[in-house]
Amino acid sequence: MIDLHNHLLPGLDDGAQTLNEALKLAQIAVEDGITHAVCTPHIHPGLYDNTTTAIRGALEQYQQALSSAGIPLKVAAAAEMHFSLELMPQAEAKTLPFLGKWQGKDVFLLEFPHTHIPFGAAKLVDWLIERDIIPMIAHPERNQQVIAEPQNLDSFIDNGCLLQITAGALTGCFGTAAQHCAEQLMIDDLVTCIATDSHNSHSRPPVLSEAAAAAEALLGAVYAEQLSKTNPWLITRHQFGNS
């Protein structure tokens, strides 16, 4: 399986804090059947002021540590970009950390606040899509405004946004409301992929298999594979070359 949203890189945000913890998370991922992971530390102005240079350096150290430890997890990096008007100058400067490509267009992971969809988000998304940049909206099923009225996503989906559901939400780890929202988005065939959004080994581990099983029980094996393997690989494969 391919995990395209997680916080495995150590010391950059509220995910893994040490290299040893990051290696432990990688081992959990491998044991769960995850072969490739795109690490996506937060970029949240004023809270997590990560840069592409810092992320690249952390990735290189992590790759070396994984190799030394004999953990066969292939890792690349992008970022989870918090909604901000700073996305516009980054897009213009071509410094957005992309997950990969979808139908020939660049894809990045976009995070809204958990409470609501920000004012102006639709206009910013339109501006990005006009420039062939596709936002993949992270964990919409955990957004309170989406849970209350899922149709709040309609304009984003109609304009070409992709949706990423959190594995733990699909298995009930974030409560029944988030689980039901995730299931409905899947039933409506609006979801592009599931990902772990892993932060730690105890409450938010890098586990995809349980969510894949839940997706299979809900909509069948082909659909589950599409969300956990096929679509994530189509998006991220250039990050890994032929590996």
Candidates 183, 133, 142, 184; CA nearest to 162 is 133
Tell the burial category of 100 from Cβ atoms under 10 Å away from its Cβ (0-12, 13-18, 19+): buried
CA 55, distance to chain mean position in Å, is 16
> The domain 2-240 belongs to what CATH superfamily?
Metal-dependent hydrolases (3.20.20.140)
What's the length of the chain? 243
pLDDT of residue 243: 67
End-to-end CA distance of the chain: 13
For residue 52, report the phi and psi dihedrals to the nearest 5 degrees: -60, -30
Tell me, what amino acid is at 8? L
What per-residue confidence (pLDDT) applies to 242? 64
CA nearest to 6, candidates 133, 154, 139: 139
Contact 165, 182 (CB under 8 A): yes
Question: What beta strand segments (E) does 40-89 contain?
Answer: 42-43, 74-77, 80-82
Could you give the CA distance from residue 174 to residue 182 in angstroms, rounded to a whole number?
11
pLDDT for the residue 46: 84
- Residue bearing tokens 């996506």: 40
Helix, strand, coil content of the chain in percent (nearest 5): 45, 20, 35
pLDDT of residue 216: 98
Residue ranges of domains in the chain? 2-240
CA-to-CA dists, residue 82 to 59, 98, 109, 137, angstroms: 20, 14, 9, 10
Q: Which residues of the chain have pLDDT under 50?
A: none
Paired strand residues for 109:
80, 136
3-class SS of residue 231: helix
pLDDT of 137 reads 98
Q: Which pLDDT score is estimated for 217? A: 98
**Structure pTM?**
0.96
Q: Is 72 exposed, middle or buried (0-12, 13-18, 19+ CB in 10 A)?
A: exposed
Give the DSSP letter of residue 171.
T
Which residue, among 156, 129, 161, 158, has the nearest Cα to 145 in the 3D structure? 156
Instruction: Give the separation between CA 35 and CA 72, rounded to whole angstroms.
Output: 7
Question: Which residues, 6+ apart, have CB-to-CB distance to 51 below 8 Å?
Answer: none
DSSP result, 217-228: HHH-HHHHHIII
